[in-house]
Amino acid sequence: MASVTQQQIQKFHKDGFLVLERFFSTEECDSMRRQIQRIVAEMEVPPHCRTAFSTREEEQLQQQGSSDYFLTSGDKIRFFFEKGVLDEKGNFLIPKEKSVSKIGHALHAYDPVFKQITHSPKVQELGRKLGLERPVVVQSMYIFKQPGIGGEVTPHQDATFLHTEPLGRILGFWIALEDATQENGCLWFIPGSHTNGITRRMVRAASGASTCVEFVGSEPAYDDKQFIPLPIRKGGLILIHGEVVHKSELNSSESSRHAFTFHVMEAKGTTWSKENWLQPTPELPFPSLYT
């Protein structure tokens, strides 16, 4: 992997994203894929996915179960499924390794393989080139984008979910563990869209509310014609500014589109919003990117 140039960093600041092909080796990608296979093989289906329902009240309990499961996943390794892959008793209707949508949100902290990748010397070097002084890792996710059922991700800005004051302190690292193509759901971006702030925030709902999170503000209607696709080969890294608008389409192909992604915050002079769904815990304060 060649060193990142100042010219590339300028391009990142101009566009709000940067594609770095072949940042990780084939071996590194394969080690992440093998590790996730092990994790899925040992996976237990969460109880809230296993209850059979009849009444409204039980339905609400199940929703509460899934929202608690999500809200408390920041310092754990947890499983999130595609729609329609489990019956009401929580049995898989398709092979379980094809049913998982994502695994999050603390692989970087608790799994040796993903921890090593997240803190690898080349990632740390890239952080320093970008001028990050006190970067901390806030979350990580393994995304499967399953063949045929890997759902679309509608246009969004990461800062909607990971809000800081001031803005501009969140950076996503998105690693392709398989070739990402237009057919299997690569990322699409609106270049330069990271300069207009954010219009919508996802916040923790008041306790006792029927949902665990709610949205404040509204998502503008984006013009489809402004998005450009960013296909990338296995091992490539896409750097994603926290406010750049991006999306991915449904995976209608026969092949999955695995990716490992993590978010870093520049902690120097930054306040992490207490209203974010994700909060550091005594068990897992946000670890420093630099080791």
CA distances from 261 to 143, 195, 241, 280 (A): 8, 23, 13, 18
- Nearest-angstrom CA–CA distance, 146 and 96: 11
If residue 265 lies in a helix (H) or strand (E), which one and from where to where?
Answer: strand 259-266
Task: Name the pairing type of β-strands 100-105 and 135-143.
Answer: antiparallel
CB atoms near residue 276 (< 10 Å): 19
- Nearest-angstrom CA–CA distance, 213 and 275: 9
| Token pair listed for 135 | 């970067």
CA 278 from centre of chain: 12
Instruction: Please answer whether residues 259 and 145 qualify as being in contact, where contact means their C-beta atoms are separated by less than 8 angstroms.
Output: yes
Domains of the chain and any CATH numbers = 6-272 (2.60.120.620)
| Token pair listed for 151 | 């759902």
pLDDT digits (tens, 9 = 90+) for 15-36: 999 999 999 999 999 999 999 9
- Nearest-angstrom CA–CA distance, 98 and 94: 7
Is 74 a residue whose pLDDT tops 80? yes
- Nearest-angstrom CA–CA distance, 215 and 200: 7
DSSP letter, residue 45: P
Instruction: Please answer whether residues 91 and 38 qualify as being in contact, where contact means their C-beta atoms are separated by less than 8 angstroms.
Output: no
> Side chain identity at 269, as an amino acid letter?
G
Looking at residues 261-280, what average pLDDT do you find?
97
The confidence score (pLDDT) of residue 142 equals 98
The confidence score (pLDDT) of residue 1 equals 60
pLDDT digits (tens, 9 = 90+) for 116-132: 999 999 999 999 999 99
Mark out the alpha helices in 42-91 (DSSP H runs). Answer: 56-71
pTM of structure: 0.95
The confidence score (pLDDT) of residue 87 equals 87
